[in-house]
Amino acid sequence: MDALSLQQREQFLHALAKLSKSGIALSHALEVLSRNSDCQVESCLQTLMDSLRISENVGQAFRRAGFSESDAAIIQAGEASGRLDAVFLELAQFYAQLVQARRTVIIKSIYPLLVFHLAAILLAIPPALLDGGWAVFLAQSLPILVGFYLCVLFAAVGWRIARGLLSHDSRAARTIIRIPVLGGFLLNWTLWKFASVLSLYLAAGGSLLRAFEIAGTVCENAALKASTTAALSRVRHGESLSEAFRRQPGISEPLLRAIQVGEHAGRLDKQLRHAAEFFKLRTFESLDAFAQWSPRVLYIFIVVFTGWRIITTASNFGTHVDSILNN
């Protein structure tokens, strides 16, 4: 089945949190939600209900319904500890933050994109009037617009390639996170996810080593996953958790401090929650900087493009005037 969008997941999990908190069993809560839902959410609900009917555990049911491995593991741990309502609410808030971040970037980019498209269209009109015809108008406007969308396409492809390398190649991941701006954003993003999954899983009652295994798997940072795997191997041989992570290269200092303090204070989930909030803040700061600077870069491009088109149009107009006078 198709996975739910971020907003659909946030709304779905928030509704489950409210129903679970009121004492309604999960199977009955799913039936209640299925009475009024769109096709995509209805398909998700049907998959969940079918999986639970055949006695599959809650985690496996959510995996079959298209939820991530981390979501399914956290929900399963929440059920085992009797904190299913709190886990649903935490996950709903996590997805709400992702939705808000994406919305911020989109909203701040709409206006400069409209200005650029208007400039490409309006500045193609004078040459078309001078030289006559739609062919000139299209020749003046289409290459600019096509070139712009090709740049957007290449950027999107490059982003997917970078994300893929970051997730699956530890050596490439260490190189990518050193890239100015982009690397810092991706590092904070993956650390936020790592610390969030850890804190949620531990708060839900899951085992310590399993929590780190899941967080390393789903954080989408192969270098962090490799460091986590190596650290857990040391822990299994009797080394303390904080010491094992301290020996690993590239572990962020705030994350290491959270592990050290949490291990000695016996409140690892709380300290990791604080670390997750710290990395979330830095991630949103990067997103906000991108949202602030992307319109400015577009404005600079629009100014340069508009100036070039005005000069070109004025030159063509002067040539036409000279031609008329000479004739």
Name all domains of the chain by residue range, CATH numbers in brackets: 6-93 (1.20.81)
Q: What is the mean pLDDT of residues 6-23?
A: 88
Q: Which residue has the higher pLDDT, 117 or 312?
A: 117
Contact 166, 158 (CB under 8 A): no
What is the C-alpha to C-alpha distance for residues 4 and 62, in angstroms, rounded to an integer? 12
Mean pLDDT (the chain, rounded): 82
Nearest to 88 by CA among 77, 98, 103: 77
Contact 224, 194 (CB under 8 A): yes
* Model pTM score: 0.71
Res 231 pLDDT > 90: yes
**43-100 pLDDT, tens per residue?**
888 888 888 888 668 888 888 888 887 788 778 777 877 778 888 888 888 788 778 7
> Can you give the pLDDT at residue 64?
86
Res 211 pLDDT > 50: yes
What is the C-alpha to C-alpha distance for residues 221 and 323, in angstroms, rounded to an integer? 64
Name the percent of the chain lying above pLDDT 70. 91
Nearest to 280 by CA among 254, 261, 259, 260: 254
**C-alpha Rg value of the chain to the nearest Å:** 26
What is the C-alpha to C-alpha distance for residues 11 and 93, in angstroms, rounded to an integer? 10
**293-320 pLDDT, tens per residue?**
766 777 777 777 777 777 776 776 666 6
